[in-house]
Structure 1
Amino acid sequence: MPFEKYRPYPAVELPDRTWPDKRLESAPIWCSVDLRDGNQALVDPMDSVRKRRMWDRLVEIGFTEIEVGFPAASQTDFDFVRELIEGDLIPDGVTIQVLTQCREDLIRRTFESIEGARSAIVHFYNSTSTTQRRVVFRTDRAGIIDIAVQGAKLCKELRDADANPERIRFEYSPESYTGTEPDFAVEVCEAVMDIIEPTPDNPLIFNLPATVEMSTPNLYADMIERFLRDVKNRDSIILSLHPHNDRGTGVAAAELGMMAGADRVEGTLFGNGERTGNVDVVTIALNMFTQGVDPELDFSDIEEARRVYEFSNRMTLPDRQPYVGDLVFTAFSGSHQDAIKKGMADIYDVQPGEPLEGEYDTWDVPYLPIDPRHLGRSYEAVIRVNSQSGKGGVAYVLLHEYGLDLPRQLQVDFAKKIQAVTEDTGTEITSYEIHRRFMSAYVEPVSPKVEIIGHRSSSDTLESGTTTMEAKL
């Protein structure tokens, strides 16, 4: 492979970086972009029914900021924004966000779409990277700054002319931020800031997207910390992240970016989005949950979130998708199964194999970073049996699904029989089949000792109460 045709991503000079010593102790401001960034990445974009189903679920989960479309670029998006506003479908405490490029016609159309909304964020952007400046816009830094400034001026003009200007907030993104020189990113953002004139009570959102993930996540964190050190009026901005997942480390980039000082994260359910996807907010939120931090998003019915994702996006989630895939809480390995069984018994303070009832103090079970029940799932699929499983897995299935508590020697003997079956078939064996084979091997006789061929019975007609039965054996 011609690796020499690529060059390494430049490092940020930050020898006194502080983010590695930080911990995530509170939830960020969450913004869902499922209905915009997620939707534009679909082979078949959502219709109004699918959008409405997604919207309802996002609100139920607890998102307070939801990007609902690019209304100037799509009539469908425009109509959906109007449906939400005119149908009074936006609850108090929830703010819609709409995206626009820094073009006059698009900005004006965007403001038309949010007329009557109680609270809205107008998110305007332009690309700032070295490559886009050279290849797409064929302009220099000054030309890019002018695009951003002209967009900001019109946005501010239209907001100031609104009957209720306080209802409108602004977000600016230097798109392709990770391909932009750190000093220029600060320069263009400060130029926008000079126009918008944010205050601590009315801050401006600066969204720094990894539009394309180009480096290891630690370098993204360095860029975030560097930006926050250099930008002026830190108390008048909300620093937002928008990672994509091109290198497969979008979640890590978001987590390290928050450690570096970011206040807000934009992402999607289960990471739907352009190319390899946006950052998965479910994974970030539940990672925080497993560390004892309230993510302020409710995934206690993660299966419903999955159903909405699959209905609205017309895509299916893989079996290994963190926290929600069919196999993420399943152990086939014999040693893993044994450790899980003993760990569950320990936290519930029962003997291994006894029913798991009541409450425990702190979750601490090998191979399970989270209690499946906290996501609305059960323990039934935790242990499944294939050729890699040992006696513990077989015994666990029989006990918890059929109430059969096998003594150790019987576990050993029966596990050998099951392993022979799974090695022969090369597949998983169901709990039903395990139980059937157990009954066949140890309970049901090979041939009956006594067989009733026929019988006849009669009662005494007198009041003696005698009944006579004749049977042929």
Structure 2
Amino acid sequence: MTRKIWVFDTTLRDGEQVPGAKLNLYEKLEAAKQLKKLQVDMIEAGFPSSSAGDFNAVKEIAAKVGNTDDVIITALARAVKSDIDAVYNSVKYAEKPLIHIVLGTSDIHVEKKFAKSKSQILDIGVDAVKYAKTLLPDVQYSTEDASRSDFEYLWATIEAVVKAGATIINVPDTVGYAEPEEFGKLIFKINDRLKNLNDQVLLSVHCHNDLGMATANTLSAIKNGADKVECTINGIGERAGNASLEEVVMAVNTRSEVYQAYTNINTREIMNTSRLISSFMGLDVQVNKAITGDNAFAHSSGIHQDGLLKSRDAYEIISPIEVGLDDMELVLTARSGRHAVKNALEKLGFTQLTETQFEGIFEAFLELADAKKEVYNHDLYVIVENYYTEHDIHNQDITNYSDNFFELMDLQVISNPIFPSASVKMKKADQILKNSAVGSGPIDALYSAITEISELDIKLLEYNISSVSRGKEALGKVKIQVEYKGEIYTAKATDTDIMKASALAYINAINSIVVDHLLPVK
């Protein structure tokens, strides 16, 4: 029998504790709206006693996102009356509000952080729950640093706060100290006793990633009786972060026969949520991160591409469509094999190539791939046309197609706080196109100049810059996302001159749009 796992998202509280990731009111509200679209069961909207701004943000989320009964809105309180009052007065505007109280149970916390006796801390926790119950019927109690606590004291605390009225018991691995087998055993023991004490109380876990085991510990807890999991989008959070919501959810979905459980998460909103949070918080997702990393569903190895083209399940256990992406991406690089390149050419309409012609084109592809790192569809058109020209092959399907593509010839960018400007020189067929523009910054000016030359209504959605090497001659990589007629295009470029890389990435995106929308009909 499968059971529901409640998903508690703490991106807006624990996730926002990442240095530099502070959100303003508008951003918090928009993020909460997206979390609701994702269909999380509970949103922890903040820590209202920490500041007036956080209080107001929680209040707005409660009123505008928690105005229906399909999501619970909560916020964090220490086990003190003023904190509990702050949570109550901010979340009470939701249809389904919850007060979340946290208090340590490990010897380290009791003796060193609070400098009190265990019985004093237990009494403080019980009194906090009793007070919270006078305000709201639903109260969650978190036993901070539970994984390093003496078990009998931990259980005595849980038993006491449940009798005081707590409706959810949360067991945190606060510093990521636990490992899956021992954490699973801990949850099993607590679950066994808790269900005998009060089977209506939900058992929850909150795992941190200090040793890289937050997701594994969370999944082990599910197998051992946890009813609820606390996670963040992209795994952000204090120090090394929290259990990643998308990893936990997709593991439960993909291996449902193992976990005998399900969630209510709308998985097709995972990528939208990931991108929104990443953009608002200014925290890039590592490219090889499970589920939401750029490379999670991209395949460049020739062996893998060949296997995928023969059977999707050879190297793919999750369809990218399930998490809100387009279909699988076969990235054409120097490591791509013949099968992948031939497949890409056939998708562009080149289905009648002889074996000799294909081998010649593939050789040219490898030369370009070695120089350019990643090859786009418009590059394939140019390769095929050049091959036809060199071998005096006449074919209406390809002749002059490259005349539709743009090529960067030169650029000049002036960056200053008063008048940022850019001039570009581009080539299209035999035309030399020049333009200059000003902008709010050098990249805005550069992209405005290029956009005017292209005469396309393009909207820049995302611009990312990173270093791919070190030293004075470091290579800078630019990755962008643009929108054209409702379609999203991603492009990249690398160069020691970051302005040139920015221009090349943008022109790669434009040429991809040309391939899809503006080439003559065959």
TM-score, structure 2 normalization: 0.69
Instruction: Check 1:187–1:401 CA distance in 2 against 1; reply closer, same or farther (3 A cut).
Output: farther
Whether the 8 Å CA contact 2:100–2:140 is kept in 1: the answer is yes
Q: In the alignment, which of 278, 288, 303 is matched to residue 310 of structure 1? A: 278
The 1-side partners of 2:288 and 2:72 are apart by 33
1:182 aligns with 2:146: no
Measured against aligned partners, the alpha-carbon deviations of 1:45-66 in whole angstroms (never above 9, x if no partner) come to: 1100100110110111112211
| Residue matched to 1:415 | 362
Does the 8 A contact of 1:286 with 1:295 survive in 2?
no
Give CA deviations for 1:316-367 in whole Å, capped at 9, x if unaligned: 22222222222221222111111011114xxxxxxxxxxxxxxxxxxxx211
What's 1:375 paired with? 323
Between stretches 302-311 and 173-182, larger displacement belongs to 302-311
Q: Distance in 1 between matches of 2:172 and 2:204?
A: 8
Q: How many Å separate the matches in 2 of 1:114 and 1:448?
A: 72
Between the aligned partners of 2:330 and 2:5, the Cα distance in structure 1 is 35
Aligned equivalents of 2:29, 2:221: Cα separation in 1 = 31
Q: Is the 8 A contact 1:42 1:313 kept in 2?
A: no
Percent identity reads: 23
Q: 1:27 to 1:413 in 2, by over 3 A?
A: farther
Q: Distance in 1 between matches of 2:325 and 2:163?
A: 50
Q: 2:389 aligns with which of 423, 440, 444?
A: 444
Q: Give, in angstroms, the shift of residue 103 of structure 1.
A: 1.1
Q: What one-letter code is carried by the residue in structure 1 that aligns with 2:324?
A: G
Normalising by the residue count of structure 1, what TM-score does the alignment of the two structures yield? 0.76
Paired residue type of 1:439: E
SS at match of 1:69: coil
Q: Could you tell me which residue of structure 2 aligns to residue 429 of structure 1? A: 375
Give the distance between the partners of 1:338 and 1:400, measured in 2 at CA. Answer: 16
Give yes or no for the alignment of 1:169 onto 2:138. Answer: yes
Tell me, yes or no, if the aligned pair for 2:32 and 2:65 is still in contact at 8 Å.
no
Q: Which amino acid aligns with 1:172?
A: Y
2 CA distance for matches of 1:411 and 1:207? 61
Find the aligned partners of 1:128 and 1:242 in 2 and give their Cα distance: 15
In structure 2, how many angstroms separate the alpha carbons of the residues matched to 1:111 and 1:152? 13
Q: 1:336·1:367 contact (CA, 8 Å) conserved in 2?
A: yes
Alignment-mate amino acid for residue 372 of structure 1: P
Give the Cα–Cα distance (whole angstroms) in 2 for the partners of residues 301 and 230 of structure 1: 37
> How much has 1:190 moved relative to structure 2?
0.9
**Superposition map of 1:143-162 within 5 A:** 143-156=120-133, 158-159=134-135
Give the CA deviation at 1:405.
5.5
* 1:42–1:90 CA distance, 2 compared to 1 (3 A): farther
**Separation in structure 2 between the aligned mates of residue 216 and residue 76 of structure 1, nearest angstrom:** 37
Aligned residue runs from structure 1 range 38-57, under 5 A: 38-57=15-34
- Specify the alignment match of 1:5 in structure 2: none
Distance in 2 (CA, whole Å) between partners of 1:308 and 1:205 is 30
CA offsets 1:90-148 (integer angstroms, 9 cap, x no match):
22222111210111222233323234443211111111112222321223322221221
Following superposition, the deviation at residue 44 of structure 1 comes to 3.9
- Aligned ranges 1:452-471 → 2 under 5 Å: none
Whether the aligned pair in 2 keeps the contact of 1:171 and 1:207 (CA below 8 Å) is yes
Which of 338, 351, 363 is the aligned partner of 1:391?
A: 338
**Structure 1 runs not aligned, ≥5 long:** 1-23, 160-164, 199-203, 345-364, 450-473
Higher strand share: 2
Any residues of structure 2 matched to 1:333-372 within 5 Å, and which? 333-344=301-312, 365-372=313-320
Gap change, CA 1:118 and 1:378, over 3 Å in 2: closer
Which stretch of the first structure deviates more once superposed, 81-90 or 183-192?
81-90
After TM superposition, give the deviation of residue 154 of structure 1 in Å: 2.1
2:243 matches 1:270? no
2:403 match: none
Distance change >3 Å, CA 87–CA 390, structure 1 → 2: closer
Q: Which amino acid in the other structure matches residue 124 of structure 2?
A: I
Give the Cα–Cα distance (whole angstroms) in 2 for the partners of residues 334 and 59 of structure 1.
Answer: 40
3-state DSSP class of the match of 1:60?
A: helix
Paired AA for residue 385 in structure 2: M
Question: 1:225 aligned to 160, 170, 188, which one?
Answer: 188
User: What SS does structure 2 have at the residue aligned with 1:224?
Assistant: helix
- 8 Å CA contact retained: 1:250, 1:278: yes
Alpha-carbon spacing, 1:400–1:324, altered in 2? closer, same or farther (3 Å): farther
- Distance, in Å, in 2 between the alignment partners of 1:243 and 1:300 is 24
Aligned-CA RMSD value: 2.4
Structure 2 segments unaligned to the other structure (5+ residues): 395-522
Displacement of 1:79: 0.9
1:44-193 alignment runs, 5 A limit: 44-87=21-64, 90-156=67-133, 158-159=134-135, 168-193=137-162
SS at match of 1:172: strand
The superposition leaves residues 366-386 of structure 1 with CA deviations (integer Å, 9 ceiling, x where unpaired) of: 11111222333223x621222
1:357 paired residue number = none
- Contact persistence 2:215–2:247 (CA under 8 A): yes
- How many residue pairs get aligned? The number is 389
Q: CA deviation at 1:179?
A: 1.3
CA deviation map 1:194-227 (0-9, x unaligned): 222x6xxxxx100001111113222111111122
Q: Distance in 1 between matches of 2:348 and 2:176?
A: 46
Amino acid at match of 2:227: D
User: Which of 198, 205, 212 is residue 248 of structure 1 equivalent to?
Assistant: 212
Contact 1:392 1:411 in 2 (8 A): no
Tell me, in whole angstroms, the C-alpha distance in 2 between the residues paired with 1:329 and 1:385.
14
Distance change >3 Å, CA 175–CA 435, structure 1 → 2: same
Which residue of structure 1 lines up, in the alignment, with residue 299 of structure 2? Answer: 331
* Displacement of 1:36: 1.2
Change (3 A) 1:169 1:333: same
> Rg larger in 1 or in 2?
1
Helix, strand or coil at the partner of 1:34: coil
Q: Distance in 2 between matches of 1:89 and 1:239?
A: 23
Is residue 195 of structure 1 aligned with residue 178 of structure 2? no
Match of 2:204, as an amino acid? S
State the match for 1:300 in structure 2.
Answer: 268
CA distance in 1, matches of 2:249, 2:173: 19
